[in-house]
Amino acid sequence: MKKLNVGLIGCGVIGTIIAEAIDKDLSDRFSLITVFDLLPEKAQKICEGMSYPPKISQNFRDFLNHPIDLVIEAASQRAVHMYGVKVLESGKDLMIMSVGALLDDGLLNELENVAREYRRHIYIPSGAIAGLDAIKAASLAGLSKVTLTTTKPPRGLKGAPYIEQRHIDLEKISEPTLIYEGRAEEAVRFFPQNVNVAASLSLAGIGKEKTWVRIIVDPNISENIHEIKAEGKFGNLVCKTENLPFPENPKTSYLAALSAIKTLEEIGRELVIGT
Ligand SMILES: NC(=O)c1ccc[n+]([C@@H]2O[C@H](COP(=O)([O-])OP(=O)(O)OC[C@H]3O[C@@H](n4cnc5c(N)ncnc54)[C@H](O)[C@@H]3O)[C@@H](O)[C@H]2O)c1
């Protein structure tokens, strides 16, 4: 059976789970041939204990020279800006985890155009939320309102530009507190590592200007909770996901990594059907 060669950019918590899945459960359909991270020690760590260790690329040019079929970005919005177009132009498919980057219209258009020109695919896993299938379907008839309420423990929002710029002391918050409300296009800039789901929801539904985001800090919870409410000609939808975060990176939910693995499985199945 033909295998797809995968290259991974970003060796943090999501990258690690994906690499392990390819090494174990998905090894009949995928080979992880190279990994790249700005921090070489992260790339080194991900290779430890793997049955089929990938090569560590020292830089992006080195990475792109490998015979990769599919690049998985699990790094940062900045990484999507820096590498996304080049990946597609070099004839490789691209899976994007830092979906917030796609709310930049210029980048989104360029990625779509280049993907079309080079006949490449861009895959966007559903991430840390449920309900995108229904939102997509409902948008066909017209959605009038879509709201995402994200509730996180203080450590899940640490370091976000919005928190830093406003000098919000997360440790001093003693009860559930609404700290932000605004449009998705702004939310992904203020919370680039926390509300990628707002971007996925915008792209699936009524867009970044009309999708409303509320962020609540709750010191009494340990989960990252995302609640979607939508209204439209189809009726009403309420969809709540209570996600367990990774201990190593509490900003990220386990479900997000699982959604990437599920997307890979589906790509693999197409491959089987196609051969
Ligand atoms: N779609 C979703 O629902 C969803 C959910 C959670 C996280 N995310 C996003 O997925 C991405 C990965 O998440 P994570 O929790 O694994 O993060 P992480 O911080 O644990 O790991 C990211 C890794 O990427 C590396 N990196 C960052 N920028 C880079 C660049 N320009 N080039 C090469 N390496 C780079 C970092 O050094 C780090 O090792 C983040 O952008 C995060 O916001 C998306």
Does pLDDT of 265 surpass 50? yes
What pLDDT sits at residue 273? 52
Does pLDDT of 249 surpass 50? yes
Rounded to the nearest angstrom, the gap between the alpha carbon of residue 223 and the centroid of all alpha carbons in its chain is 18
Of 102, 104, 95, 99, residue with least CA distance to 122: 95
Q: How far apart are CA 261 and CA 266, in angstroms?
A: 9
Of 65, 66, 79, residue with least CA distance to 12: 79
Ligand 1: nearest atom to the Cα of 199: 1
Does pLDDT of 274 surpass 80? no
> Average pLDDT, stretch 157-170?
96
Model confidence over 4-44: pLDDT tens digits?
999 999 999 999 999 999 999 999 999 999 999 999 999 99
> CA separation (Å) from 62 to 66, 120, 155, 216?
7, 21, 36, 42
Counting beta carbons within 10 angstroms of the beta carbon of residue 165, is it exposed (0 to 12), middle (13 to 18) or buried (19 or more)? exposed
> Average pLDDT, stretch 173-187?
97
Element (H, E) at 264: helix 254-274
Copy the structure tokens of residue 160.
Answer: 């976000």
Domains of the chain: 4-127+254-274 (3.40.50.720), 132-243 (3.30.360.10)
The rounded Å distance from CA 37 to ligand 1 centre is 10
Q: Which residue is closest in CA terms to ligand 1's atom 6? A: 252
Ligand 1: nearest atom to the Cα of 128: 3
The residues annotated as belonging to the active site are 226
Question: Phi and psi at residue 30, in whole multiples of 5°?
Answer: -135, 150
